[in-house]
Structure 1
Amino acid sequence: MPGIRSQACLLLLALGLSLPVGASERTLRVAVLSKSPPMSFVDAAGKLAGFNVRVAHALCDVMSVRCELTAMPLERVVDAVAAGEFDFAAVSLLDTAERRSRILFSKPYYRSSSIWFARPGVEPGAAGIRVAAVTGSAQSRYARAHGWNIVNVPHHAEFPALLTERKADAVLLPMASALTLRQEPSIQSLGLVTTVIQRPELSGEVCFGIDPQNPELRDQINKAFDRIKRDGRFDRLNSEYLPFRLQ
């Protein structure tokens, strides 16, 4: 009865105890990227959109929690998740040993390669060329490790201007982002050549990053991934945002 329920709540408050919080009131802090189409971007209405954004919402729906999305640059994602600033990152992170030592990973949701996008005759590692990559990415670390002349940028949206203005001779980026870049009208006339780079450091399983202090959340996210794949939501989002199948 309402009267009895009210009395019980008053008793809990009098004893200094917290009222139970329903699962629907739980909020997860989720890091996303804002300029990495088609995976994550800000649409014409000023809202976060893209495959990873929609998958994050689907996972939170399955877990009966509320998602609070915050956009940030890729270079900060792993540090922020490792520090507990976010519960998870709905960001396509290559599962590397260095990252795995700092954060937890969900089960892989696709496998990625890296793409070398350059003018004809500009080969990876050639002397004197300028290679653009996103700061904090596996591609940037690879270029730096090999002593390449790197033009680091905060997000993929910088690439078209760098190429058209000849401030970079090539870009190195993930497969999904390369597909979007090829569709940019400003660079379609440049005759750029696409080369798939199948190096271990540049290809592999792609996962969401999870707070290292919360293995229970990792298990919940993995179960939620299984659920949205079974019920068709993952496949529908795949068709909406990507011209190739992720599984």
Structure 2
Amino acid sequence: MLAVVGLAHGAERVLKVGVIHHSPPMSYVDASGGLTGFNVEVMRELCKELAARCETVVLTLDRVVDAVAAGEVDFAAVSLLVTPERRARLLLTKPYYRSISVWFARPGVKPGEARVAVVKGGIQARYAQARGWAQLPFDNHEAIFGALATGQAQATLLPMANAVALQQDPRMSAQGLASTVVQDPELAGDAALGVNPRDRALLDKLNDAIDEIKRDGRFDRINTRFIPFRLQ
């Protein structure tokens, strides 16, 4: 009997999961030094559904697609806007919410007229580059907040959830930044998780797990905990 128990325990699947730090409220290190955030807690519930032990691997956003495509991680607990380029390299789960982008700048500063802070590897960075805007690329959203607070950057383009975190950051209150939702299809759409392209079985299990945590209310509870609006 002990041998059987040991075999069962040994058969537990270990999944490597890519996460990014310093991207509140989606994933960040809290005051106690623990990793948390909307995507981190969603990941933990998905791993429970998969009955798997998940080990996190810290990545920067510009490394996420490459790491998943190369099999360095089994999946990434990162909101990836679904694009044809990403579909060509990764397996993508069913969408778990829709994302839009927000322009933040001092009043009167328009896109293309100022240095815009962006996160390397993000859709927003690609959008700014394609339009020839003067960019200040950073590894994470926390660095963007700091650049705006010190005046190093005059504007930023962020996903909606990160934009809300920026609005709530006490360093921003004195900056007088105005926000505008950017109505461009390139900056809006379905957000999904990236999965190792050689593991379609894992993709199917993650899709089932997403359905389950939405069905039983766990997704909504995580949403309420970290984001002051309902993700759809």
**Alignment TM class, shorter chain as reference:** over 0.9
Matched position secondary structure for 1:36: coil
The alignment status of 1:174 with 2:155, answered yes or no, reads no
Residue in 2 aligned with 1:73? 60
**TM-score, length basis structure 1:** 0.89
* Counterpart selection for 1:58 from 27, 45, 52: 45
Structure 1 residues not aligned, in runs of 5+: 9-18
Structure label with greater radius of gyration: 1
Mapped to 1, the partners of 2:215 and 2:146 lie a distance apart of 41
**Secondary structure, counterpart of 2:55 in structure 1:** strand
Residue 164 of structure 1: how far off its partner (Å): 2.5
Shift of 1:44: 1.2
TM-score by length of 2: 0.95
- Superposition RMSD on alpha carbons, in Å? 1.7
Does 1:25 pair with 2:19? no
CA 1:23/1:218 → structure 2, altered by over 3 Å: closer, same or farther?
farther
Alpha-carbon distance between aligned partners in 2 of 1:31 and 1:161, rounded to the nearest angstrom: 25
Identity %: 53
- Maintained 8 Å contact 1:24/1:64: no
Q: Secondary structure at the match of 1:120?
A: coil
The answer to whether the Cα contact below 8 Å between 2:112 and 2:134 also exists between their aligned partners in 1 is: no
2:190 corresponds, among 184, 191, 205, to 205
The number of aligned residues is: 231
SS at match of 1:206: strand
SS in structure 2 of the partner of residue 190 of structure 1:
coil
- Deviation for aligned residue 1:21: 5.4
Contact 2:57/2:73 (CA < 8 Å) preserved in 1? no
**Which residues in structure 2 correspond to 1:131-142 (within 5 Å)?**
131-142=116-127
Gaps of 5+ in 2: none
* Contact map agreement 1:134 1:156 (CA 8 A) in 2: yes
Partner deviation per Cα, 1:121-169 (whole Å, 9 max, x = no partner) = 011123xx10110000000011111111100000000122211222111
- Within 5 A, what are the aligned runs for 1:1-247? 2=1, 25-126=12-113, 129-247=114-232
| One-letter amino acid of the structure 1 residue matched with residue 54 of structure 2 | C
Moved over 4 A (4+): 19-24
Give, in angstroms, the shift of residue 206 of structure 1. 0.4
